[in-house]
Amino acid sequence: MSKLPQEADQGEKCVYMAEEGETVSLALRRRVAELEVENEQYKELYSLLRTTSDAESSEIIRRIKASDDPREVLSFIKQAELLLPGLKSASNSSGQSQASSTPSVERTIDRTANLK
């Protein structure tokens, strides 16, 4: 961990994580890239909450509350999609659920929970 040459006037030291031999500029660019990826993951999770049924959204929220990192829930859902193809088609483009023969997020999460 390194300190920037100029510290903030607010009484807090400006601290950033830099790799060995990494400049301040490169460290900040790397951090911005990391935050952009994180932001996209949160957007994807939010989109899932908006487009799934109330029951599925409730299950996702329950899992978010139980997790230390909401992105873990998104990762889990993506893994479930790989294990049970057809999950992505559980909601059509208008966000309305299709026929019950298509696996839902909630059912997929329940099924994959037993695989751990």
State yes or no: pLDDT of 100 exceeds 50.
no
State yes or no: pLDDT of 91 exceeds 70.
no
Query: Which of 5-9, 80-84, 98-102 tops mean pLDDT?
Result: 80-84
What does the DSSP 8-state code read for residue 102? S
| pLDDT score for 84 | 80
Q: Which residues contact 71 (CB under 8 A, 6 or more apart)?
A: 38, 41, 42, 45
Residue 88 to residue 21: CA distance in whole angstroms: 43
Inter-CA distances, 18 with 23, 55, 56, Å:
7, 43, 40
State percent of the chain over pLDDT 70.
61
Read off the pLDDT of residues 30-66 as tens digits, 9 standing for 90 and up.
999 999 999 999 999 999 999 999 999 999 999 999 9
Inter-CA distances, 105 with 3, 77, 98, Å:
44, 7, 12
State yes or no: pLDDT of 116 exceeds 50.
no
Closest CA to 61 of 95, 53, 70: 70
At residue 22 the predicted structure's pLDDT band, cuts being 50, 70 and 90, is confident
- Comparing 103 with 44, which gets the higher pLDDT? 44
Domain locations in the chain as residue ranges: 2-113
